[in-house]
Amino acid sequence: MRNSKYILWFNQLDKKDLPIAGGKGANLGEMTKIGIPVPPGFVVSVQAYFDFLEQAGIKEKIAEIIKITNTNNIEELENGTKKIRELIRKSPIPEKIAREIMKAYLRLGSFGGLKAAYVAVRSSATAEDLPDASFAGQQNTYLNIKGEANVVNRVRDCWASLFTARATFYREKNNFDHFEVGIAVPIQKMIQSQVSGVMFTIDPVTNNKSVVVIEAVWGLGETIVQGQVTPDAYWVDKKTSKIKKATVAPQKIQLIKVGQKTIKAAVPKKIQNIQKLNSLQIVELAKIGIAIQKHYYYPQDIEWALQNNQLYIVQTRPITTIKKAAGKSKQKTKTQGKLLLQGDPAAPGIAAGPAKIILSAKDTRKVKKGEILVTTMTTPDFVPAMQLVEGIVTDKGGQTSHAAIVSRELSTPCVVGAEKATKLIKNGQIITIDGATGKIYLGKLPNTGKKKKVIKKKTTIPKTATKIYVNLAEPALAKRIAKRKVDGVGLLRAEFMIADIGIHPKKLLAEGKEELFIAKMTKGIAKFCRAFHPRPVVYRTTDFKTNEYRHLKGGEKYEPQEENPFIGFRGAIRYITSPEVFQLELRAIKRVRNKMGLKNLWVMIPFARTPKELLQVKRIMASVGLTRGPSFKLWMMIEIPSNVILLKEFIKVGIDGISIGSNDLTMLTLGLDRDNSEVAFQFDERNPAVLWSLKRVIKIANRHRITSSICGQAPSNHPDLVEKLIKWGITSVSLSPDAIDHTREIIHRTEKKFLNKNEQD
């Protein structure tokens, strides 16, 4: 029987009480009722929060701050939400609510024979754990709190945390009313864990339903969430209760309570390298996990703790990243004519014109407007010519080759991998290409080249919780693409700007002309930042390979000849080896941010092979005054298997987000070159090995509270993969301009499906 509308004990709640206890509170109550070992506690109800807002008279003030805050502007959002949190913290809690919290706290202490217990004060929002809008982890938790006044103040801090920048922005994107989402506060007896961790009732990577996976660390489990330590991992067979596999990870630091403080402390040397749980404890814990899943009829993500050889469950939520089959879609065309060649479709559209055969980047100046560029393969120094032509055909390459990616960005029809195009097509010969089918026809087909009048219909652009960014490189396109409904630039490539300069940066340094490089890069980057302001522009620092640098004026003097530049001298190692060149780029970035005031410019580091390399790059950035902060985010590309395997170590170095370069990651995982037509047919981001990597990094990013994105061509090419990415919890996708609308629809449908499923459940 509930005697108070403000205080609800766990044994008074069940899973149906989400509206009054939030997701976490309702689940703690449900588990208590079915006999799961949950530390005792109570919930300060959602009604207490709503009554606090009304009686403090601050609801209208909060609404006004939100109304005048541009939630797409990071700085405005941070400043606005900070004001709201300060307003909540300064407002007095109504006496009746405060008194009931204190009374319940003292009663909780009496359960263990202590009048002043140490407790965990946790946030529990009413919109937590939805598959399409998982607010879990966005509000605050406070550990080892003691004393009535301290507990009351921490309850108010939890209420304030409903208005963090992240949570506020997420509600905006999901169209949640800020005052319909409520927050309850579970207050639970603190477990001083000797060991703690998480448990998944299916394998979260392979979705193998026959096992339970347990991760364990010494001390409090926050070290797993924060990525400070690598946990042990144990796999238990559900049918036999046998431990199939156990990996032990050395641990040197742990989070423990000392006095009234929670601190990092050294793990005693004698236990640093031993297994955290013994076999009996592992099996017992797995059986508890199986019982929880059986009760909820759905795989669970469970937090647990061990104190004095007693296991406790402190939280459970459904796993929402389970694989489902998705169908494939094919694009059809009605184009007919005399077929000359067949290649691979790369950029949709039909184009006709005289062929211009170009066998060397040095001859691109011969290309004229209106021609069809036919070449073996393109490199960044082909870009000026690619902007002129009506269409592009290459002998080599696949759908994620340089030619394909740039063509889609330019909205230029493109066919790649046509093998003998440069031999069979004659210079000046009129041809028609169909970028949707990969077919090349002789002559100009009827109705090609004539622009049809397009009648635009007014359509409602669906909103998505998953951010939609765009991949760009050409400054001239910035203004036009910025008018599209996108959340910013998720991948700004330097290649067009470098090609426009046309001179190797070391040659400029040798001649004392470094200002030319800085000025041109500044001008180019600023165009994007101005066009998209206040939306973020994530600039990927230069990732030219040696063969691409050699094409620049002076390049042959400064660049080595490499048999395989793809896995050679590129990315982060170049910055470390030649910091003077990297600093030119950094000075341009700093000039855009500081002198021009375009704080929406962020940076992404490509091809960092080891955490040590990333750390060295960050030190070079710091030397010119570029360090992470509220308005300056640092991302890292995930494109090497070592990035996938060692992601937790990279996160420890300090990054705000990751972006998966699915093109390079697929090639390096499968050991094939997408530009080699002999093996390009095997290039597929949906290969199980690649999917394993994608899911792993997204899962780790979510666990460590950093953003995850994907900027390769995979989302544009494979609608079924987009659905998987959304299920796994990716926070954004970055697409070529031609794929924005189509992919937005896929994301919208997927998110809507998740929401409908949750409502039915």
Write b or e for each residue in 169-195: b if 16 or more Cβ atoms lie within 10 A of its Cβ, otherwise e: bbbbbbebebeebbbbbbbbbbbebbb
C-beta atoms surrounding 112 within 10 Å: 11
Residue from 352, 157, 195 nearest 277 by CA? 195
Q: How far apart are CA 129 and CA 139, in angstroms?
A: 13
Q: How far apart are CA 611 and CA 642, in angstroms?
A: 9
Q: Which of 158, 414, 529, 711 is catalytic?
A: 711
User: C-alpha distances in angstroms, 696 versus 138, 222, 319, 724?
Assistant: 21, 20, 14, 12
Tell me whether residue 158 is one of the annotated catalytic residues.
Answer: no
Q: Which helix (H) or strand (E) holds 214?
A: strand 211-218
Residue from 561, 526, 569 nearest 544 by CA? 569
Residue from 72, 77, 3 nearest 42 by CA? 3
Looking up tokens 């193998």, which residue turns up?
208
3-state secondary structure 1-33: CCCCCCEEEHHHCCHHHHHHHHHHHHHHHHHHH
Judge whether 26 and 62 are in contact, CB under 8 Å. Answer: no
Tell me whether residue 414 is one of the annotated catalytic residues.
Answer: no
| 534 cis-preceded (ω within 30 degrees of 0) | yes
Residue from 362, 227, 338, 318 nearest 658 by CA? 227
Structure tokens at 456: 């635009």
Non-local CB neighbours of 101 within 8 Å, separated by 6+ positions:
6, 7, 44, 148, 151, 152, 155, 187
Q: How far apart are CA 214 and CA 246, in angstroms?
A: 9
User: C-alpha distances in angstroms, 729 versus 118, 688, 699, 709, 732?
Assistant: 34, 18, 7, 10, 9
Q: Which of 402, 504, 533, 748 is catalytic?
A: 402
Judge whether 386 and 392 are in contact, CB under 8 Å. Answer: yes
Judge whether 639 and 664 are in contact, CB under 8 Å. Answer: yes
Write b or e for each residue in 551-580: b if 16 or more Cβ atoms lie within 10 A of its Cβ, otherwise e: bbebbeebbeeeeebebebbbbbbbbebbe
Q: Which residues are catalytic?
A: 402, 711
